[in-house]
Structure 1
Amino acid sequence: MQDFKHFDPKQAAMDEARGLLEAAARAAMADGSLPEKELPAFVVEVPNDVKNGDLASNFAMAGARVFGMPPRKIAEAVAAAMPALEETHFSRVEIAGPGFINLFLAPGWFADVVLAANAAGADYGRTSYGKGEKVNVEFVSANPTGPMHLGNARGGALGDCLAAAMDWAGYDVTREFLINDAGNQILKFGKSLAVRYLQIFRGEDAVPFPEDCYQGADIRVLAQKFADVHGNVYMEKPFEELQKDIAAFALPLNVQGLKDDMAKYRVNYDVWFSETTLHESGAIREMLDKLAERGATYEKDGAIWYRSMQYAEKYGGNKVTRKGLDGEVTDEDKDEVLVRANGVPTYFAADIAYHYNKFAVRGFSRAIDVWGADHHGHVARMKGAMDAIGLDGEKLDIVLMQFVRLMQDGQPVRMSKRTGKAIGLAELLDEVPIDSARFQFNLREPGSVMDFDMDLAVAQDSENPVYYVQYAHARICSILKKLAEDGIVFEGADKADLTLLTEPAEKELIRHIADFPGEIISAAKSYDPARITRYVTELANRYHKFYNSCRVKDAEHCVCQARIALCTATKNVISNALTLLKITVPESM
């Protein structure tokens, strides 16, 4: 049997078609039908209407100027010189219109697709496209001073499924969460906790709570936990000591909460990277020295500045367009402070050191960050900084994710009916099945604003897309079980005559199965895992069409066996797609 590991049927057919066309063109040049020239650059693609051919090429049009001949004449010469097709995956070649060369796939190709999806099983769809390239995917990286918000729900599903698609496409992927446990937000966190702690013992009237502190109820809870452990010991200590110690107490609890929320969401990171380590290890100072050596920084007003304008221009500059009362206003480019006059590094300095660590220290050849769309003004600066420090900003890719609007009963939902507060990730997962959340958050490409329909997410009918797909898998399992109960034993895909699968609905389903490895590659290349959800939804739709038009049980034995093989192939692909998305794969519903 053929080795179907990393087999991409569609790409294999396109590669074979290209090889046949090139061989035919060279043969035509050898017999004088075409003049001796360098082969033109040409395209082999799947046409919109496969009735005119499963694959089409513009070889003749692309070669018109090269060969100095009309495209139709070139196409005729190539078709006449085409090698014998008996040992290929093609049955015939035809010329259409001004010179399109159309190739028709033979039954053997369709048979190989079904055989591959059966033989490869849980690995069908995996390819070696990425060649083991070492890639870092950083996503969510929520502020550890508070709970996860709704945007993190989309970012978690998007980042995790993108990483999975890249893994299936043959990349060596590391999922990473950056813990922003240093800087002003941690000082503010500690101050907020310290004031709430003092209020526990002195009363809220005696200790006013500053407006610039974190107002959430979680701050009260953490302050109480600290008080439960330490009592009133810190009442007589300096405020700065209380602020430092209570932050050190609470931060690990919050980080563990982030880890618990992500684990519940089926997101498991390979690395939880602490920003504090950059400060403690001297990595930020080393980064500053490197930038200084390359002339990328200067001193002004006691601070160290980075020549952001010089390096960001390549990536679109630092101009940020914002909405104003008089329309759109573009802020001017400006250089960036890396170290303030008080000697404290800025967040941007830490961010440069962090990305330098990814590339230069840990050896990732590509880093992919999933950011909220409100960070779009930081993209050019961050990529330019990689160039400034001697790396390649082109190797840093930013996926900008648009915001989410929660909908229920056709209306936007901002507050929880139960708590009266903004709905966060943890509460969303209490109200909506995780399968629905992960699937629905990946229904749209990252750059699209999306509405998350809570009513749809909990619906158990075909209107709910994840239910529709899961039902297709369960239906196939039920069909196979019923066939076995009726004494129809599946003898195996390798024993079946799969060339009998010639009905339109069968071929349509097989073509879609053949697309699966390529769709995963496309999702990895475009950083858009929504391609997988769209793909598997359409696969379920095509299976239902096949089953409604092609009888399995009542068909002749040889046809029945071939159709069972097609059923198991479809079941495997649905299972693989859902597994990639970390969505449960039910066998009954």
Structure 2
Amino acid sequence: MTPLQLAQAVRAALVQAVEDGTLALDPALLPDEVRMERPRQREHGDWATNVALQLGKKAGTNPRDLAADLAARLGATPGVASVEVAGPGFLNVRLDAAAAGELARTVVEQGEAYGRNDTLAGVALNLEFVSANPTGPLHIGGVRWAAVGDSLARVLQASGASVTREYYFNDHGAQIDRFARSLLARALGQDAPEDGYGGQYIADIADRVVADALAAGEPDPRTLPAAEATEAFRARGVELMFGEIKASLHAFRVDFDVYFHEDSLHESGAVERAVARLRELGHVYDADGAVWLRTTDFGDDKDRVVIKSDGEAAYIAGDIAYYLDKRERGADRVVIMLGADHHGYIGRMMAVCAAFGDTPHVNLEILIGQMVNLVREGQPMRMSKRAGTVVTIDDLVDAVGVDAARYSLARSSADSSIDLDLDLLSRATNENPVFYVQYAHARTVNVGRNAADAGVRREDGFDASLLDHESEAVLLGQLAELPRIVAQAAELREPHRVARYLEELAGAYHKWYDQRRVTPFGDETVSDTHRTRLWLNDATRQVLANGLGLLGVSAPERM
């Protein structure tokens, strides 16, 4: 019996109680889905629900009395071994071994589909993450968003959403001008401008701009008039830098569906159209020669200048146009992932969302991430050999590999700062969380190989009632959790829940492995016990692979 089947049985008991008058409640108030959770203490049973507490007060009934009534009704349900009432009205349900064990077959038969759900079916979601300026290699803060953002996209897709991964390409503004001037200065053998960029990568790109121009038969950009030279280094330099960023992200298993150019908002008239729309809605006014958005009507601390008195668009103008553009491209929900220094951005953008008639925190969500600190040999790792001032995506991958980098960045809540111990992540020990989980998967594969050599085949038999050991009950309980974990991770936008779940599952599997054998011992004859345990082993392998896949981490077959 799966958690969903048990939840349906509880709801059916509630419906029956309403129909026979035991529960004086409008049927419309019954939950569409009863939530079943694993008790914190294993001895309390396999599953628990507080539905009696939720509905008892609404019906004017003592929740404990309602729980007792539901327990009596559920006691006759096939597969339910016992139902107990605890505390003020909790229901603790214990399944019989056969009902619990059937989950092993369910997981294997569903394969890659196990754990997926349709809670976000029909939702078009635009997820913007990383969006680092193309003025240097991707630094460690952006790498965290790459791991978390891509994992979140996978979790959202596993929950039925149609997800567009989007990268906002900042190719407009002062930082690009400084980048171009830095390239030109380096090409001319001069010091970088005081507000410019340094690092070996500037020299590398400057040399490539010159080499590419000469190879194409074009004039040496260093010999052009100052304005033309700056533009030549800007155009080609940004292209080369962004090409490197995209290549690094691709090697990190992160690719985007849309690379949106900030320049296009200003060149296409999107800014003017967005301002005109807000003016039609009555939220724009003119004062002091500038155009203002009345964001204070929607909770912002002050109104915002959209078009400055000199006619230039303020920074927020591009953000306004970009949000509207995403909505007009069909996004039901716009989710933007930003760094820790963007807290002040939330209030004004939620006001923009409301000004367009949308619902803040529903049509627009802004997720803020915190800093990452890298530690090696007990000391902070602060500088890249190439970038000079920051640690980059390539530095991290070179140090620990893609799997360890992605897993370690995605396994903690994004709104908390983290310290990554590079020495730990490089070790093949159980203290290394990604090794611990991947080793569990490799062990399941090895068990399967050994079983095949011993003549143990799943298709020759399955008897769920044989999975009656305590370690099997715990392992089955963990396997049953994946659908709930995925749905919860999607709802809360917290993919780290998948990683933490996998670590618990790996622990349960390792304990089971130490106590139960899949292959016959000595001259022992192959029996349904071995075959049924192989089903459980392979179900665990499938769930580990599915979970690792949601994090963009490989599931190795040998380690």
Give the TM-score, by structure 1 length.
Answer: 0.86
Q: Which amino acid aligns with 1:13?
A: L
Does the aligned pair in 1 maintain the 2:201–2:386 contact within 8 Å? no
Q: Which amino acid aligns with 2:410?
A: N
Q: Which amino acid aligns with 1:531?
A: R
Q: 2:499 aligns with which of 509, 514, 533?
A: 533
Hey, what does 1:399 align to over in structure 2?
367
Does the aligned pair in 2 maintain the 1:188–1:214 contact within 8 Å? yes
Q: 1:553 aligns with which of 503, 507, 519?
A: 519
Query: Aligned partners of 1:430, 1:140: CA distance in 2, in Å?
Result: 20
Displacement of 1:67 in angstroms is 5.6
Query: Aligned partners of 2:486, 2:54: CA distance in 1, in Å?
Result: 30
Matched, 1:267 2:250: no
Displacement of 1:484 in angstroms is 1.7
Q: 1:116 aligns with which of 99, 102, 106?
A: 106
Query: Aligned partners of 1:286, 1:453: CA distance in 2, in Å?
Result: 49
Q: 1:246 aligns with which of 222, 230, 233?
A: 233
SS of the residue corresponding to residue 458 of structure 2 reads coil
Q: 2:353 aligns with which of 386, 397, 419?
A: 386
Hey, what does 2:543 align to over in structure 1?
573
Superposition pairs of residues 21-40 of structure 1, within 5 angstroms? 21-27=14-20, 29=21, 34=22, 36-38=24-26
> Cα gap change, 1:346/1:581 in structure 2, threshold over 3 Å: closer, same or farther?
same
Query: Aligned partners of 1:403, 1:453: CA distance in 2, in Å?
Result: 14
Superposition pairs of residues 72-471 of structure 1, within 5 angstroms? 72-80=64-72, 84-86=76-78, 89-197=79-187, 199-200=188-189, 204=190, 209-228=192-211, 229-230=213-214, 233-234=220-221, 237-311=224-298, 313=299, 317=300, 333-359=301-327, 361-394=328-361, 395-416=363-384, 421-471=389-439
Hey, what does 2:474 align to over in structure 1?
508
Query: Aligned partners of 1:522, 1:544: CA distance in 2, in Å?
Result: 25
Hey, what does 1:13 align to over in structure 2?
6
SS of the residue corresponding to residue 520 of structure 2 reads coil
Q: Which amino acid aligns with 1:544?
A: H
Displacement of 1:141 in angstroms is 0.4
Aligned length: 546
Q: Which amino acid aligns with 1:48?
A: R
Q: Which amino acid aligns with 1:515?
A: E
The alignment's C-alpha RMSD in Å is 2.5
Query: Aligned partners of 1:273, 1:55: CA distance in 2, in Å?
Result: 47
SS of the residue corresponding to residue 438 of structure 2 reads helix
- Of the structure 1 ranges 63-72 and 374-383, higher mean CA displacement relative to structure 2 is found in 63-72
> Cα gap change, 1:404/1:561 in structure 2, threshold over 3 Å: closer, same or farther?
same
Query: Aligned partners of 2:25, 2:448: CA distance in 1, in Å?
Result: 56
- Of the structure 1 ranges 471-480 and 504-513, higher mean CA displacement relative to structure 2 is found in 471-480
Matched, 1:588 2:554: no
Q: Which amino acid aligns with 1:508?
A: V
Q: Which runs of 5+ in 1 are unaligned?
A: 1-7, 318-332
> Cα gap change, 1:59/1:455 in structure 2, threshold over 3 Å: closer, same or farther?
closer
Identity %: 36
Displacement of 1:284 in angstroms is 0.9
Hey, what does 1:3 align to over in structure 2?
none
SS of the residue corresponding to residue 144 of structure 2 reads helix
Q: Which amino acid aligns with 1:55?
A: W
Query: Aligned partners of 1:337, 1:568: CA distance in 2, in Å?
Result: 60
Give the TM-score, by structure 2 length.
Answer: 0.91
Query: Aligned partners of 2:532, 2:380: CA distance in 1, in Å?
Result: 49
Does the aligned pair in 1 maintain the 2:271–2:321 contact within 8 Å? yes
Does the aligned pair in 1 maintain the 2:428–2:435 contact within 8 Å? yes
SS of the residue corresponding to residue 85 of structure 2 reads strand
Displacement of 1:25 in angstroms is 4.8
> Cα gap change, 1:64/1:233 in structure 2, threshold over 3 Å: closer, same or farther?
closer
Displacement of 1:137 in angstroms is 1.0
Query: Aligned partners of 2:221, 2:65: CA distance in 1, in Å?
Result: 91
Q: Spell out, residue by residue over 1:287-320, the C-alpha distance to the aligned partner (whole angstroms, 9 max, x if none).
A: 1111222232233333322223332x1xxx4xxx
